Amino acid sequence: MEITPRHIERAALRGEMRFDYQPKVSFLTGEVCGAEALLRWQRDDGSEISPETFVPLAEAWGVVSDLTEAMFPRFLADVSSIKAVHPDHRIAFNVSAHDLDAPRFIAMLHDAIDEGHVALDHLELEVTEGAVVSGKPSVLGSLQRLVADGVELAMDDYGMGFSSLDTLHRLPFSSIKLDQSFVLRVLHSAKSAVLVKLSIAMAQMLGIRIVVEGVESKAIYDSLLHSGCTAAQGFWISRPLPLEHYLNFLDEDPRWPASPIGLFRMAQLAHHWQERLLIDMVFAALRSDDPVHEIPLNFHLDENQCELGKWYYGIGEKFVGDPDFDALEKPHRAMHDLCTEVFKALRTGNRQRILNELLNEISENSCRVTACLHRLETRALIREAG
């Protein structure tokens, strides 16, 4: 069959197209935490046309935004069915640069949110890196307005472009999806394994969730279990499922291996990174003729806002009652109080207090934080091994 733009338009209008949902699993709980909506075309005769065939054609012909607008109401209806039984699930919807440059789609999205057809807690937009670096101000403007309105963005295919770091700098993505080409090689290539681990660490230090796609085997899943990833997606977990099958799949309450160890490791990493950043900024300020201006205005002094604090007062709260977790708060808070004293001393030019007193106290409290986190990790490893 030779596909034409008319075929695509008619297929959407006649109900030949639908969304399948590929589950995402939390590494922390081992439970399904959401899904990605993937467009499928099944003709009346039962045959299927691959999205790898018709989506690029729709983009090339300039009708992909029309297709997105035609299918968005179907997506909203599906999300409504999902949230009725699983209100904590977040469903990802894929958008292209063409969609973000289409005023009608952006208006449809805003109307759906404003009229309560979809809640921000249930929606995530997956955006390819190519859409962000398309160079069109209108596309970047749409993304910035969506973020300002509270819509969460996920960067798809992270690592495939040359400007991933610049893209992360320009827009506050809530999550990134590590491209499966790296994940599939993680067991066979030391270089790929390092790139995956470094990407995860960087995302965590920026406060960004990371999803790995392409988890095609238990071996890949297990190799990433302690890495600090947020969630996994791939054929070993489940292939994309039609809505009814996806809901039945959730009713079976499937479980996968879970571990808190990645969280403990990322908390340690974030703590050490921020402490080193502080020390480097302080010494740069001490060498400066105008030390106060050497400290960035957005450097976090609030213990709730640093990466360790976000973890401790956020997802880490599930460990409340553990003596090592509870013991973290006092030295962590003390470090932030000492940072405030450091900045005061910089403003007054009291170098000796910084060098002889405050930095030593920061180091001592940092060691206490590290010891607590390390004991949490060690005991978790012992429990899993036992």
Q: Residue 126 catalytic?
A: no
* Cα–Cα distance for residue pair 183/44, rounded to 1 Å: 36
pLDDT tens digits, residue range 184-211? 888 888 888 888 888 888 888 788 889 9
Query: Are 276 and 227 part of one and the same domain?
Result: no
Q: What is the pLDDT of residue 204?
A: 81
In the chain, beta strands by DSSP E: 17-26, 32-42, 48-49, 90-95, 123-128, 152-158, 175-178, 209-213, 231-233, 241-242
Mean pLDDT over all residues of the chain?
88
* Number of domains making up the chain: 2
Task: For residues 290 and 330, state if they share a domain.
Answer: yes
Same domain as 359, residue 210:
no
Pick the catalytic residue: 152, 213, 275, 307?
A: 213
Q: Are residues 243 and 290 in the same domain?
A: no
Same domain, 308 and 193: no
Task: Tell me: do 158 and 198 sit in the same domain.
Answer: yes
User: Residue 153 pairs with which residues in a beta bridge?
Assistant: 125
Question: Of 211, 226, 257, which residue constitutes the final position of a domain?
Answer: 257
Q: Would you state the structure tokens that stand for residue 330, as one six-digit string?
A: 């006092």
Surface-to-core class of residue 45, CB atoms within 10 Å of its CB (0-12 exposed, 13-18 middle, 19+ buried): exposed
At 92-109, the pLDDT tens digits run 999 988 898 889 999 999
Amino acid 291: pLDDT: 60
CATH code of the domain covering residue 244: 3.20.20.450
Do 40 and 122 belong to one domain? yes
Say whether both 252 and 362 belong to one domain.
Answer: no
On the 0-12 / 13-18 / 19+ scale of CB atoms within 10 A, 90 is: buried
Q: What is the pLDDT of residue 262?
A: 92
pLDDT tens digits for 231-266? 999 999 999 999 999 999 999 999 999 999 998 998
The model carries a pTM of 0.89
Among 13-22, 46-55, 140-149, the range with the most confident prediction by mean pLDDT is 13-22
Task: CATH number of the domain at 281, please.
Answer: 1.20.120
Domain range enclosing 371: 263-385
Residue 16 CA to residue 364 CA, distance in Å, equals: 65
